[in-house]
Amino acid sequence: MKAAVVTFPGSNCDEDTVIALERLGVEPVRRWYKDTDLGGAEWVILPGGFSYGDYLRSGALAARAPIMDAVEQLVARDQLHVLGICNGFQILCERGLLPGALRANRDGKFRCTWEGVRVASAPSAWPGFQVGQSFRLPIAHREGAFTVSEQELDRLFQEGTVFLQYCDREGRVVDEAANPNGSMGAVAGLARGRVMGLMPHPERAVSQFLGSEDGLEFLRLWLQGR
């Protein structure tokens, strides 16, 4: 199995992502934002970081990079599994491959903490994830508060697009006031078709030495998509 890892100017989690994939026995294919193909990979990860220094809006400039044309074309043909992590999630929303937007955190500050996330709906493309399953993963962002209209949020829940929600240590979903960034509906991640995005960093939780191995399990389940 081959999985492409895209590097944009300002990416800083691409090497962590490559290491995590190698630990899972996956061949990483390194792609640059100016590339126009994914090197034959049917899996792609848009890693975290600060693409283009987060100028304009986080992910807004990277969403227009040449490599994203290739990503969108393969998504339209149902030939690609996509995972956007943190800045990668922002890029997917800016490109329109996932709904909504990620705005500044409730307190306006950069948050770097360990958080619980709970599977809110089982995506059809990733049957390995089970509703109620929880993971302990780190976040590291200043613009991670998911936002849409109230009507749109209700629709996303109804159609099962809300994939992950922030939760406490007992696996109970926390409300907007208690979640780490003020995300509407405590949304930590979305999944639509074969496109998935989340704000926490599974690639930073791949060994007990780092604080948790939950990220390795998360990536393993993602790689079992169909």
Q: Give, for all 226 residues of the chain, the pLDDT tens digit.
A: 999 999 999 999 999 999 999 999 999 999 999 999 999 999 999 999 999 999 889 999 999 999 999 999 999 999 999 999 999 999 999 999 999 999 999 999 999 999 999 999 999 999 999 999 999 999 999 999 999 999 999 999 999 999 999 999 999 999 988 999 999 999 999 999 999 999 999 999 999 888 899 999 999 999 999 9
pTM for the predicted model, two decimal places: 0.97
Q: What residues are labeled active site?
A: 86, 201, 203
- Residue 76, Ramachandran bin (φ over 0: left; ψ between -120 and 50: alpha; else beta): alpha
Q: Which helix (H) or strand (E) holds 150?
A: helix 150-158
Number of domains in the chain: 1
HSE-up (13 A, CA, CB side) for residue 20 = 29
- Residues spanned by the domain of 175: 2-222
Here the CATH number for the domain that contains residue 54 is 3.40.50.880
User: Whose CA is closest to 3, among 65, 94, 83, 73?
Assistant: 83
